[in-house]
């Protein structure tokens, strides 16, 4: 058999066993259903979780982009205001008037504060600034000296901290909006208190002379918490969502929505006038501080959070699996660095809130799954209980000697595939042999073979073929079929008890077997397991030495296209000592010629008292069947055998199917032409059966229970 055939054989055998098991073991179905439902549910949950994560990432990105666009629009507006003011001729003239008062060697501060141009500038700008919502202004010359401001404290200062670096690009001719930075001057905070270090930012534009030369920078002061922070707070997600800005070193540039919590955690002073803007660096505390835990590291040793690290390196992205924010709370977020603002933005939302719908879905899923599992387990135990009750009913039926409409008498045979009872029909009183197969112990292939044996044998009506009367399954789950009851012995027992048989009797037996097989072959059936144990010798209808061919369990339908070959396809089946070479090498291609070979092997056994080969192992038997010819019957028996019968048996045993008799009918005709074919008369048969009855050497019905 080729590797491909072996692979196909194993696959078909496994499939058949699986199908049979699922068909007979119904208790498995609830468990299979539970596993399938669990697989479907888990798959759906994973897909929904993936879809939800994608949706969350998309929402975060939308909020981030919305805030960025709002900042761009606002930035363009305030830059336009600064540029328009810087281009006004009255302001330019006042700036030109202040420039001489900044010359080196002069008391700059005093001259500037006393300059009428400063007063005029304040008078000119303050009403406009108030209308537009600006908190003040500042004018710096090209050396970053403050020439004018709304507040006297800054006037005359050179390069005040934060101003020089923030306004440097304006001196290159570009309008800008600065990042928030702490003010040097005493300014009013959001609560109206005058203090230094108040977060401030500017919209700035260069002031040019009439010839286009940059002579100063005009900055319009913006209160971050009024405009900048309000824009970032406009679009945010849920109760925990926030968008905030941060510098490259991780400093918080905008106001957190969690100021009260940050006061409790010690990030900012616990006073009403303290705010989070510019108050701390955005670092990962490594634990959830909101749960009362303490960070294992000092703030300076803590790493920057994931968005700050990624955005600071120029990598935009998002994370919906969860990471810790500056409070240590697990969050999801999206981030991006904006070079035009020189800061990054991140939009975040607590994981607990973001995945709340998923959590609800998970709870619902596990609840429903639990119900399914509980239901499946309950069904499993109920079906197991039902199977036990059915098994008890089967045992009770057998103990009561009653199987449907049949009354059981004695057990007359047993084997790996079932039991045979002598029984009788409860109403007709007709004796029958009842073959039983209990579904709880039956292999799926055995059950399929059992059913096939009934279906195939029921098509045969030849008198030398065992007759089937009935087939069914009792309410207790016992499969059975009823066949004619035979008294006698198998050919196997005949030879073992009485030795080699006369040639004339062998011819008579083989001719009757040919009749049975001729009918089977005529309708496209191949027996495939012809052997001495499957041929029964009995008295029937007053006729002695009557042959009955048994056990069509391995029968193969070769004419019925598409019919399932339950136990034969691509499988080495049959009894090796009587198996044809092609049945060993190509079990899927056997035909009637294989039965002719087996019939010849049975004849050889009857004549010689020995099988074809004496081998120690199955492998040796199969090899001999394929490659070696058996010794001639006369040599094996040690006595002469008629040439006609010996040559005919050796023809049947030819390795090539084409060299054997073409059909069972042709073989029967050839047998009848052998010397002594008519010598086994009815009288001789009656005499033999009479001696058998008188000696009472074998009163036990011997049948092979396959």
Active site residues: 529
Structure tokens at 158: 């050179």
How far apart, in whole angstroms, are the C-alpha atoms of residue 128 and residue 84? 12
Strands 136-141 and 146-149, bridge-based pairing: antiparallel
- Burial-class residue 263 by CB neighbours within 10 Å (0-12, 13-18, 19+): middle
User: Which of 57, 60, 56, 80 minimizes the C-alpha distance to 68?
Assistant: 60
Residues with Cβ within 8 Å of 417's Cβ and at least 6 positions away in sequence, in order, are 437, 442, 446, 449, 450, 553, 705, 706
- Do the Cβ atoms of 22 and 28 come closer than 8 Å? yes
Phi, psi of 8 (to 5 degrees): -60, -40
Phi, psi of 639 (to 5 degrees): -140, 155
Residue spans of alpha helices (H) in 313-457: 351-354, 356-399, 444-457
User: Which of 683, 682, 680, 653 minimizes the C-alpha distance to 667?
Assistant: 653
Q: Which residue has the tokens 């020189």?
A: 342
Residues with Cβ within 8 Å of 306's Cβ and at least 6 positions away in sequence, in order, are 284, 319, 323, 333
User: Which of 471, 629, 490, 506 minimizes the C-alpha distance to 549?
Assistant: 490
User: Measured at the alpha carbon of residue 650, what is the angle toward residues 647 and 655, in degrees to the nearest 5?
Assistant: 145
How far apart, in whole angstroms, are the C-alpha atoms of residue 663 and residue 518? 7
- Do the Cβ atoms of 30 and 380 come closer than 8 Å? yes
Helix, strand, coil in percent for the chain, rounding step 5: 45, 20, 35
């Amino acid at each position: 058999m080729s590797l491909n055939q072996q692979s196909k054989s194993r696959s078909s055998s496994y499939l058949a066993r699986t199908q049979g098991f699922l068909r007979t073991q119904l208790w498995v179905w609830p468990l299979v259903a539970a596993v399938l439902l669990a697989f479907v549910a888990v798959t759906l949950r994973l897909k929904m979780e993936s879809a939800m994560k994608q949706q969350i990432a998309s929402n975060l990105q939308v909020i981030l982009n919305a805030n960025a666009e709002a900042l761009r629009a606002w930035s363009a507006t305030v830059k336009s205001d600064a540029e328009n003011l810087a281009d006004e001729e009255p302001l330019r003239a006042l700036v030109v008037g202040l420039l001489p008062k900044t010359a080196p060697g002069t008391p700059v501060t005093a001259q500037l504060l006393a300059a009428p141009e400063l007063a005029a500038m304040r008078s000119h700008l303050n009403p406009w600034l108030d209308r537009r919502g600006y908190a003040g202004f500042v004018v710096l010359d090209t050396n970053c000296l403050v020439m004018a401001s709304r507040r006297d404290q800054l006037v005359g200062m050179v390069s005040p901290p934060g101003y020089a670096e923030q306004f440097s690009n304006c001196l290159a001719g570009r309008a800008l909006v600065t990042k928030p930075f702490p003010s040097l001057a005493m300014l009013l905070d959001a609560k109206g208190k005058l203090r230094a270090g108040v977060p401030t930012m500017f919209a700035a534009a260069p002031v040019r002379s009439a010839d286009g030369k940059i002579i100063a920078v005009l900055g319009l002061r913006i209160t971050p918490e009024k405009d900048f922070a309000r824009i970032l707070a406009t679009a945010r997600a849920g109760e925990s969502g926030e968008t905030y800005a941060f510098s490259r070193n991780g400093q918080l540039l905008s106001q957190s929505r969690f100021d009260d919590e940050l006061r409790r955690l010690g990030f900012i002073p616990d006073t009403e006038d303290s705010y989070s803007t510019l108050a701390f660096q955005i670092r990962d505390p490594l634990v959830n501080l909101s749960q009362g835990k303490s960070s294992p590291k000092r703030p300076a040793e803590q790493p920057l959070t994931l968005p700050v690290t990624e955005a600071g390196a120029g990598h935009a992205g998002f994370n919906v699996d969860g990471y810790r924010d500056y409070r240590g709370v697990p969050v999801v977020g999206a981030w991006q660095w904006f070079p035009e603002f020189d800061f990054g933005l991140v939009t975040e939302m607590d994981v607990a809130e973001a995945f709340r719908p998923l959590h609800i879905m998970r709870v619902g899923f596990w609840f429903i799954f639990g119900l399914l599992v509980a239901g499946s387990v309950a069904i499993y135990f109920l079906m197991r209980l039902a199977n036990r009750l059915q098994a008890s009913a089967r045992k009770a039926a057998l103990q009561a000697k009653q199987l449907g409409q049949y009354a059981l008498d004695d057990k007359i045979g047993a084997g790996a595939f079932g039991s045979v009872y002598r029984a009788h029909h409860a109403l007709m009183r007709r004796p029958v042999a009842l073959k039983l197969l209990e579904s709880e112990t039956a292999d799926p292939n055995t059950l399929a073979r059992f059913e096939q044996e009934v279906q195939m044998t029921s098509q045969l009506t030849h008198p030398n073929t065992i007759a089937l009367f009935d087939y069914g399954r009792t309410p207790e789950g016992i499969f059975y079929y009823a066949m004619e009851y035979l008294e006698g012995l198998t050919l196997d027992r005949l030879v073992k008890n009485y030795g080699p048989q006369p040639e004339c009797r062998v011819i008579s037996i083989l001719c009757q077997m040919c009749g049975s097989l001729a009918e089977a072959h005529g309708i496209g059936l191949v027996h495939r397991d012809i052997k001495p144990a499957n041929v029964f010798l009995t008295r029937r209808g007053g006729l002695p030495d009557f042959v009955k061919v048994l056990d069509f369990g391995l029968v193969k339908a070769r004419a019925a296209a598409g019919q399932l070959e339950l136990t034969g396809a691509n499988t080495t089946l049959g009894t090796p000592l009587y198996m044809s070479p092609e049945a060993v090498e190509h079990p899927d291609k056997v035909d009637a010629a294989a039965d002719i070979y087996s019939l010849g092997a049975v004849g050889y056994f009857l004549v010689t008292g020995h099988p074809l080969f004496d081998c120690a192992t199955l492998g040796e038997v199969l090899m001999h069947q394929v490659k070696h010819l058996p010794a001639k019957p006369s040599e094996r028996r040690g006595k002469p055998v008629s040439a006609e019968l010996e040559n005919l048996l050796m023809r049947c045993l030819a390795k090539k199917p084409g060299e054997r008799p073409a059909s069972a009918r042709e073989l029967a005709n050839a047998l009848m032409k052998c010397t002594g074919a008519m010598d086994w008369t009815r009288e001789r048969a009656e005499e033999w059966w009479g001696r058998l009855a008188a000696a009472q050497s074998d009163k036990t019905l011997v049948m092979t229970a396959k």
